Amino acid sequence: EKQIRKARETLDIYAPLAHRFGMGAMKCELEDLCMKYLWPEEYKKLEQAMIPYQEERMHTLNKAMEEIEKALKEAGIEATLSGRPKHFYSIYKKTVRQQKTIDEIYDLIAIRVIVNTVNDCYATLGIIHSLWKPMPGRFKDYIAMPKTNMYRSLHTTLFSNDGMGMPFEVQIRTPEMHKAAEYGIAAHWMYKEGRSNPDDLDSKLAWLREALSLEADSNTTREFIENIRKDFFGDYVYVLTPQGKIIDLVTGSTPIDFAYRIHSNVGNHVQHAKVNGALVRLDYKLKNNDVVEIITSPNAAPSYDWLKIAKTQQAKAKIRTWFKKANREENIQRGKDMLSEALKRQGAQLSDFTGKKEYFEDILKKFNMSDLDDVYASIGYGGITTGQVTNKLLEQAKKEAKAAAAAERLERLEEEQQSRPENRGNGKGVIVEGDTGMVVRFARCCTPLPGDDIIGYVTRGRGVSIHRKDCPNIGDLLMDPERVVRAEWANNAKSSYTATIQVVADERTGLLMDVSQVLAGMNISITAMTAKVDKANQNIIQIQLSFDVSSTEQLNNIIKSMRKVRSVKEVYRVNQ
């Protein structure tokens, strides 16, 4: 179970982080290790499925490498070649998510060609395309248009053996590009010559600063982590600015998300958007290689509908921030109206709650707010939902109604008991309303003693259970009022009842002896005793004592005497 938990955490957090930092080798290794523990059956099946392809893969790989090496040597281009199989998790994702068979995956094998210069990269590409026919739509130039995680390379997929053999991928890059692809951001410290200017590293870390900025717009740590996972660790689309800069956004993003990724001021003043030169709606779903242009206006402002249109948590947070700052009074009124309507749908009125500040204490504390207007404003601009507030308010109201009903029932029982003529007791020393021949037992949840205010509860098949009126379960008992009966102590109450107390003290030699002597001095025998050291503080000991007493008054005298014992910090009655 621990292995599965760690594997899931690694796959959700650390592998995506490695990818974001451009550490391709580490990402692949982590993903394959996680798959082995998360989906062991699928891993074994895939391992077995790849065996028939192993011989053909190695034959195609070795033959292609020999031909490339020979052609580059004839052209006078120095190169280092290496081959690699596609890692299992990548194959698994394509077979499951894209519903592809292994035969439809064209990069099961890849050859890396490392040459000295960028010019050599393009020259090598031309030579390779003269040797094999390239697969249409499978050429990618990440040198001219690098990925946001610093990855740069030329990718092309080729048909082997005149199109009859296994397809293979070739990646062409310089040594600097290869270091960045393998080690990611670490390559900038390992190889300083890779830095194009003093600010290059800062620009590469822009996504991390954007991710950390989400913390200010998150109410809880869980929400902050979830926002980062949604915006930065999911699947991406890569779009371009009119100047050719690549912007990566989570799949399903719109021009609004693009605008807020550029800058808050751009997002806050979006009027229109163009994609590939044509005007589009603001809810248009961006696709890879779209060129996006945002048209702004000083008079344009966000709309509440944008919160439904925006896909990224970053854009949503900035929209909420704009509403929060721009229209507080309007947000307060809007939030108040929304909360009022939500409560009406639940059969309640907002006026029933506004006069009771204690109803809102938990809400203010949870969302770090200072007053009721903050709650209304947050609802108004979308910071919290009406459901989060109404659930808390109705829960508090229900608790209060339950407590009021219990108090009213107790008061009525007391009035009836005072007006009732005296009745005889039973063997337990308790007078019970109605049939005095009923079996009577004392509830272990509150262990009543003579002198305690008590009530009876008619159980199913076990007679009448006697409870203290301050029993922790009294609220639940009074929810079934027809089974609650009056009860009081009789004059012929039996001479002894079991009571239990808890003694909390600083650990010292002779403590147990001193505690026992208090009871011995009052002619009371201990029927049970346990002692244990406090887990949070090894210097504190907790002693639980059970003994027989005749009344609450006698028990209170014992507690007072115990509190006088040296090093004793606290003594209290325990409900058994």
Q: What is the CATH number of the domain that holds 556?
A: 3.30.70.260
Percentage of the chain lying above the pLDDT 70 cut: 79
Is the whole-model pTM more than 0.85? no
Q: Quick one: pLDDT at residue 494? A: 58
Query: Is the domain of 37 the same as that of 144?
Result: yes
Query: Is the domain of 441 the same as that of 295?
Result: no
Is residue 563 domain-resident? yes
What tens digit of pLDDT does each residue of 414-473 get?
555 454 444 444 445 777 776 556 778 888 788 888 888 888 888 877 788 888 888 888
pLDDT > 60? residue 211: no
Query: Is the domain of 164 the same as that of 40?
Result: yes
Is residue 174 domain-resident? yes
Q: Quick one: pLDDT at residue 197? A: 47
Rounded distance, CA 330 to CA 318, Å? 18
Is residue 212 domain-resident? yes
Which range among 284-293, 362-371, 398-407 shows the weakest confidence by mean pLDDT?
Answer: 398-407
User: Which domain CATH number covers 61?
Assistant: 3.30.460.10
What tens digit of pLDDT does each residue of 74-106 get?
999 999 998 876 677 777 777 776 666 766 666
For the ranges 26-35, 280-289, 319-328, the one whose mean pLDDT is highest: 280-289
Residues paired with 155 in a beta bridge: 140, 171
Is residue 529 domain-resident? yes
How would you class 161 by CB atoms within 10 Å of its CB: exposed for 0-12, middle for 13-18, buried for 19 or more? exposed
Q: Which two tokens stand for residue 347?
A: 């059969």
Mean pLDDT of the chain: 79
Closest CA to 20 of 191, 246, 206, 196: 206
Instruction: Please give the angle made by the CA atoms of 11, 14 and 19, to the nearest 5 degrees.
Output: 95
Q: Quick one: pLDDT at residue 86? A: 67
Query: Is the domain of 97 the same as that of 180?
Result: yes
Is residue 415 domain-resident? no
Query: Is the domain of 30 the same as that of 65?
Result: yes
pLDDT > 60? residue 565: yes
Is residue 407 domain-resident? no
pLDDT > 60? residue 212: no
pLDDT > 90? residue 318: no
Query: Is the domain of 214 the same as that of 271?
Result: yes
Quickly count helices (H) and strands (E) in the chain: 23, 20
CA within 13 Å, CB half, 360: 17
Q: Quick one: pLDDT at residue 425? A: 44
Query: Is the domain of 141 the same as that of 28?
Result: yes
For the ranges 13-27, 209-223, 512-526, the one whose mean pLDDT is highest: 512-526
Residue that terminates a domain, selected from 465, 489, 513: 489
Q: Look up residue 286 and give its DSSP letter.
A: P
Query: Is the domain of 23 the same as that of 88?
Result: yes
Closest CA to 401 of 462, 340, 330, 475: 475
548 neighbors 496 (Cβ within 8 angstroms): yes
Q: Quick one: pLDDT at residue 271? A: 92
What tens digit of pLDDT does each residue of 263-291 get?
888 999 999 999 999 999 999 999 888 89
Number of domains in the chain: 5
* Residue reference for tokens 């009530």: 455
Q: Which residues contact 357 (CB under 8 A, 6 or more apart)?
A: 372
Q: Look up residue 516 and give its DSSP letter.
A: H
Residues of the domain holding 429: 421-489
What tens digit of pLDDT does each residue of 540-554 get?
999 999 998 888 888
Q: Quick one: pLDDT at residue 192? A: 42
- Residue 313 CA to chain centroid, in angstroms? 15
pLDDT > 80? residue 568: yes
Question: Angle, to 10 degrees, between the axis of helix 313-326 and the axis of helix 221-232?
Answer: 120
Is residue 201 domain-resident? no
Query: Is the domain of 87 the same as that of 190?
Result: yes
- Residue 404 CA to chain centroid, in angstroms? 37
What is the mean predicted confidence (pLDDT) over 380-384? Answer: 80
Is residue 106 domain-resident? yes
367 neighbors 335 (Cβ within 8 angstroms): no
Is pLDDT larger for residue 138 or for residue 559? 559
Closest CA to 146 of 125, 174, 170, 169: 174
Query: Is the domain of 54 the same as that of 179?
Result: yes
Q: Which residues contact 386 (CB under 8 A, 6 or more apart)?
A: 338, 339, 341, 342, 379
Query: Is the domain of 485 the same as that of 505?
Result: no
481 neighbors 409 (Cβ within 8 angstroms): yes
When pLDDT is cut at 50, 70 and 90, the band that residue 165 belongs to is low
Residue that terminates a domain, selected from 135, 164, 194: 194
Residue that terminates a domain, selected from 468, 489, 510: 489
Rounded distance, CA 225 to CA 16, Å? 13
Query: Is the domain of 502 the same as that of 485?
Result: no
CA within 13 Å, CB half, 243: 4
pLDDT > 70? residue 304: yes
**CA torsion sign, 296 to 299 to 300 to 301?**
positive
Closest CA to 494 of 441, 444, 570: 441
When pLDDT is cut at 50, 70 and 90, the band that residue 559 belongs to is very high
pLDDT > 90? residue 115: yes
